[in-house]
Structure 1
Amino acid sequence: MWRTWILSAAMVAVAAVVLLTGAFDVTSVVTAVLLLALAWVVSPLFFPHHVDDATARRDAAARGVPVVYWRPGARSASGCAPLCAPARVARSG
């Protein structure tokens, strides 16, 4: 858990150092704001967390939508024609 936050924590620390040690000129404020925005983007808060199968099925049933599993390395629909075609036929028929 700590490894996922270490880069964001380092960026926040650098932004704090920039603001506390430098004059509050435009460059230091812009640098700090950019560092804080980048820290948010690389933090686990920016990306959705992993949901286990039971939770995904329960949420999907409540919303009436299917559960879609993503396999690492899977391509878009145009790149998986041999694998996706039987699934499309089964869904349509």
Structure 2
Amino acid sequence: MTRAWILPVLLVLFGSAVATALTVKGDPGKAAVLLLMFVVLAGVNSPLIFPRSIGVLEAQRRSAVDGRPVVLWRPGCKYCIQLRIRLGRSAHRLHWVNIWRDPAGASAAREANNGNETVPTVIVGGRPHTNPDPAWVRAQLPPPA
């Protein structure tokens, strides 16, 4: 199992344990609501809500061709989740690099952030921008073809 799935799986397991305990105590309604909350939280922290990740070298190559920004991110990062959600459908027009899956991506994040793997880091025209405003990121997108 990759690191990206550890937190979501733990959230589902913990939610299941809490729901089971509540059901045994005779409160199945509360158990169902709590389990649903844990499953939603696991989904939000999973790689499922992000577009498919590619390696940073491939992302930089594609960005040079199509002008789209590159986003360095990692699962479980609340700022990455906020950026992804606030970008909405336009998130699919960026190149996403999961730094936990791509060592070169992690290195690029450290290089851009004084040795720290601070994410989200958005690279536009070769210049990194750490935790930028989603409206600004959207404005950096080339017009749809």
Tell me which interval the TM-score lies in, with the shorter structure as reference length. 0.5 to 0.7
Higher strand share: 2
Give the match for residue 31 of structure 2.
28
Whichever of the two has the greater Rg, that structure is 1
- Aligned residue for 1:73? 129
1:51 maps to a residue whose letter is: I
Question: Does structure 1 retain, via aligned residues, the 8 Å contact 2:22–2:30?
Answer: no
| Aligned 8 A contact 2:12 2:38 in 1 | yes
Describe how 1:5-84 pairs up with structure 2 within 5 A: 5-23=5-23, 24-52=27-55, 53=58, 66-70=66-70, 71=123, 72-73=128-129, 76=136
1:16-70 CA distances to partner (integer Å, 9 max, x unpaired)?
112322225221111110000110010011111223538x85xxxxxxxx45133
Long gaps (5+) in structure 1: 58-65, 85-93
Q: Aligned equivalents of 1:28 and 1:4: distance in 2?
A: 27
Q: Distance in 2 between matches of 1:51 and 1:6?
A: 20
Q: Identify, as 1 or 2, the structure richer in helix.
A: 1
Give unmatched runs, 5+ long, in structure 2.
71-122, 141-145
Alpha carbons 2:20, 2:31 under 8 Å: kept: no
* RMSD after superposition: 3.3
- Once residues 25 and 38 of structure 1 are traced to their aligned partners in structure 2, the CA distance between those partners, rounded to angstroms, is 20
Structure 2 residue identity aligned to 1:26:
G
User: In structure 1, what is the Cα distance between the partners aligned to 2:67 and 2:129?
Assistant: 18
Alignment partner, residue 102 of structure 2? none
Aligned sequence identity (%): 27
